[in-house]
A and B are shown apart, each in its own frame.
Chain A
């Protein structure tokens, strides 16, 4: 028997001109937690997809527990003992936990017998790995952290010895992430092998035994976690030294530029998403809104930007009231000096099928400089885009390239360049660095601080607590649509984490 759960030898994969994996060698020791880090587009996902049978390698060999394996589809991966927990869960939302776990492993057409067996097996697994879930709960009613536990149980139920987790903490609160790490440690103790794909260096340091770094399709280094540092890993990922801490001076807040009072937003089903929220943002300060995704931050941003109508409340922009309960007019808000970097650049901030230059004017396409009449001046549009490309170092520097062909970081720069170069008074930014590589994060954070120092009022929403803490001058925590509290940026992560989980609110309610 080999000591390696997984051994990859010379894995090579191309997609047309893109060389996604270059001669990858990787050894993952049995019963360890092995981290794989790398920037977006470094080839991590491709490599894991090859291991899980979504793609076939052009050349190279895979050994599972010393045996050469031919993984031609995910069924073969499962029978080789590999389980995968995807970033976006593969669960049927209106099925129960038990039904989801059985799905695809029912064993016969008549379910009754299988259900009894599965229930017993699930109970045993829960006890063995200390992962309590109610087998009859409906998935969509469960918190995200528990849904993820179901995904893990699903893999173990299928007798996975090797578990691959793809960016597992992106959707979790700090407390839920800690719980996940305890589960992973438990799995390791029971002899399972875990591969953790992430871009969060702190997680790597906290939980893994070994870590491999990928850059531009190559495996550049493997280190024992105990013998490396965050700085070294960041440098390996990017290929140069990176500044992990944002350098910023004292804020110099001026007059109130954006004022929100008693804002309430209900979604189309009538569910209250933003509940009586009030706050101010002053010129020259960054107000960060922390919170787990789905606690009303998105709806708050959209209501302020005019994309969604509020049920009640008032918003004042540079001293002038805004009609937030009306149908909403994002174009009018732009004219009044509000710029909006939306949370989801793929569906909202950009049209991926457009050329870069076409996206560089989205929302401002009515400007005279893009054409005097109803006709567009294509030359002027491309020239304007090229200027932004140069200022923001967007790569490749080609305004005619389809936007989908840019990396996440460069796509985000396209959005930021468009919104920041309008010289707005108020800038609202959602998830500025989601899916953005380390090098670009540094650049984006610098630009945001620069905007603040130029006297812009900035409202920042992010699910990355680190980002909120390092950029904000004040932090507002949202939970279940309400403001759970306001803190200074030097508040401890634990304190913010409790607010994010709504713990303090529950305590207050109990008193």
Chain B
């Protein structure tokens, strides 16, 4: 028995539904703010001006967005091959080894753009390696990738603590972090990019990694929709049995997709280490790997959607920080609640309003065609 179905116009699918979800998320967040005893409209104003009201605010917003673009792309690439990579957090963390090793070795002998190349390759290599073991276990031993990548996040956390204390930490220092890099280990700020628009970056750590993230988004688009590998990955993701029929090497594709996913997550380590702190320190990923899951969901695994969703989450991070500063009633934890609501409505409950919206457009389409017919 075939089920007739209606197709929604593209702008409804890709713009209206995400916006409705977002509006509901903010509505519920607003109610939470009311319960805390603050004015939600005022809170929204502080948040938006905090994120976009000044050059510095925008700089911070885009700095955070850089994290989320890369982890979002990482999750999306695995998604396309039907794999749920929960391990971007750990892969990004381990990717830090590559960045730190390149910077600590060459920061006083090479210019930043050469160190940057080595650091990028190193971060992608370590990120990919960290994804390799779960990928291999999934492909050849049938261990579920969701479980193994979660586990590997914990292993990464401990491995990195060991690395920081025993390899990167200079003698005589207490904190679990490396020494500060020299000029060769520092990516330039993108102050010139904002000054084109007459904005002053202030103290924001908005740096070269943002451009790297945009290039990565384009490369991922080419990979997924314009290469044989991407075609095979999508076949796997949609219909594993059809991939088998077409003679695709499923196990190999699982491993390759996860290596690419891990490499993209690893690349994220550039942003905080070489772009902001100029040293590797404990927990520099700060949950960006998990936010990447929400970004990929909200961006529907499309690079353009991911960039937009990443900027939204950058706004939540930056605006949220401003909000908790200006409204003492709204603590840091409250901001996490609001971010959680956005993830809940935009990601997990993505399809909640779809039936209603579909029905609405079905009715609208009907009355339109009736009007055209002169009924």
Which residues of A come within 8 Å of B, CB atoms? 14-18, 20, 40-41, 45-46, 48-49, 58, 86-87, 166-167, 305-307, 329-334, 340, 342, 347-354, 358, 362-363, 365-366, 371, 374-376, 378, 405, 408, 435
List B contacts of A17 (CB < 8 A): 6-7, 365, 369
Given A363-B246, A408-B2, is A16 in contact with B7 using a C-beta cutoff of 8 Å? yes
Partner of A330, one of B227, B231, B247: B247
Q: Report yes or no: B245 in contact with A342, Cβ–Cβ below 8 A.
A: yes
- A and B contact pairs by CB, cutoff 8 A, 14 listed: A16-B361, A16-B365, A41-B2, A45-B2, A46-B4, A167-B1, A307-B244, A307-B245, A348-B241, A351-B239, A352-B239, A362-B242, A365-B246, A376-B227
Give me the interface of B with A, judged by CB distance under 8 Å. 1-8, 222, 226-229, 231-232, 234-235, 238-239, 241-242, 244-248, 358, 361-362, 365-366, 369
Find out whether the CB atom of A363 lies under 8 angstroms from the CB atom of B241: no
| Alpha-carbon distance A46/B1, docked complex (angstroms) | 9
The answer to whether B7 touches A378 (Cβ under 8 A) is no
The 7 lowest CB-CB distance pairs between A and B, nearest first, are A331-B247, A16-B6, A330-B247, A363-B246, A45-B1, A15-B4, A15-B6
Report the separation of the CA atoms of residues A166 and B235 in the bound assembly, to the nearest whole angstrom: 32
Query: Does A363 lie within 8 Å of B1, measured CB to CB?
Result: no
A217's nearest neighbour on chain B, judged by CB, is: B4
Q: What's the Cα separation between A330 and B228 when bound, in Å? A: 17
The CA-CA distance from A23 to B94 in the complex, in Å, is: 65
Contacts of B228 in A (CB 8 A): 365-366, 371, 374-376
**Structural contact, B1 and A330, CB atoms closer than 8 A:** no
Residues of the A chain whose Cβ atoms lie less than 8 Å from the Cβ of B232: 365
Q: Which of B4, B234, B235, B358 has the most C-beta atoms of chain A within 10 angstroms of its own C-beta? A: B4
Please name the residue on chain A nearest to B243 by beta carbon.
Answer: A351
Let me know if B366 and A378 touch, CB within 8 A.
no
A378-B226 contact in complex given A15-B4, A16-B7, A16-B365, C-beta closer than 8 Å = yes
**With A307-B245, A329-B247, A376-B226 as given contacts, are A166 and B7 in contact (CB-CB < 8 Å)?**
no
Flag if A15 contacts B2 (CB, 8 Å).
no
Residues of A near B248 (CB, < 8 A) are 331
Partner of A376, one of B1, B6, B231: B231
In the complex, the answer to whether A347 meets B242 with C-beta atoms within 8 Å is yes
Most buried by A among B2, B247, B248: B247
- CB-defined contacts of A362 to chain B, threshold 8 Å: 235, 242, 245-246
| B4 contacts across to A, CB distance below 8 A | 15, 18, 20, 46
Check A87/B365 contact, CB under 8 A, given A17-B6, A348-B242, A349-B245: no
Q: Given contacts A365-B246, A376-B228, are A86 and B2 in contact (CB under 8 A)?
A: no
- Please report the C-alpha to C-alpha distance between residue A366 and residue B245 in the assembled complex, in whole angstroms: 14
A347 to B241, Cβ gap below 8 A?
A: yes
- With a cutoff of 8 Å between Cβ atoms, the chain A residues found around residue B238 in the complex are 351-354
Contacts of A330 in B (CB 8 A): 244-247
Q: Which of B1, B227, B242, B369 contacts A86 (CB 8 A)?
A: B1
